[in-house]
Amino acid sequence: MTAPSGEITALLKHVAGGDERAREQLMERVYRELQRLAGYYMRGERIDHTLQPTALVHEAYLRLFGREQIDWQNHSHFVHGAARAMRQILVDHARRRATAKRAEGQKKVSFDESAVIVSDQRPEIMLALDEAIQSLQALDPRQALIVEMLYFTGMTQPEAAQVLGLSEITVRRDWRTARAWLRGEIRKPEAV
């Protein structure tokens, strides 16, 4: 069970003020939630993948509290930042794998095929999906955020609605629209 959102938000404010003890308390309170996110991201990976969920959590933590100080507004802002950091770490890993496999050539993937999340053996899936989500972010940031929350973090629609302060109907509608848009975007030949 994760700590209440209000408690996390208060800790984030203390961390922003430079309170090192609050940073430790924050990590203790959100570690399990970050582990769940990492496990969800890693579920489609090879067993011998070089990144493991614990390493992914620690790498994300370093990015979240690295040199650049982020003014975390609340718990949902922090969770979204963690999810985005984990996705970016895996995208970077996929790029390195794709570079190594470039001689094999790339092949077209679909959004449905990308439902395996990231495959260390098929980095083009993660790269195509990441590129499509970045395009969606430019068109509709809320839909892109909902994709990240539902698809990448494993949140349910009611959980995402609560975190975002939206109705479940709005989340369901945005999710359906975003999925349809992503399917079309990923099927484009230039999305390969």
pLDDT of residue 47: 58
- Report the distance separating Cα 90 and Cα 94, nearest Å: 6
pLDDT of residue 2: 55
pLDDT of residue 142: 92
36: which residues sit within 8 A by CB, 6+ positions away? 154
DSSP H helices in 118-164:
123-139, 141-147, 157-164
Which pTM value belongs to this model? 0.62
pLDDT digits (tens), the chain, 192 positions: 456 778 888 998 888 888 889 888 988 888 888 888 787 777 665 555 666 778 888 888 888 887 667 788 888 888 888 888 888 888 887 777 766 655 455 555 555 444 444 444 456 777 788 888 889 999 999 999 898 888 776 778 998 888 788 999 999 999 999 999 988 888 754 443
Domain regions of the chain by residue span: 5-191
- Inter-residue contact 52 to 93 (CB < 8 Å): no
**Angle at CA of residue 56, ends 41 and 61, nearest 5°:** 120
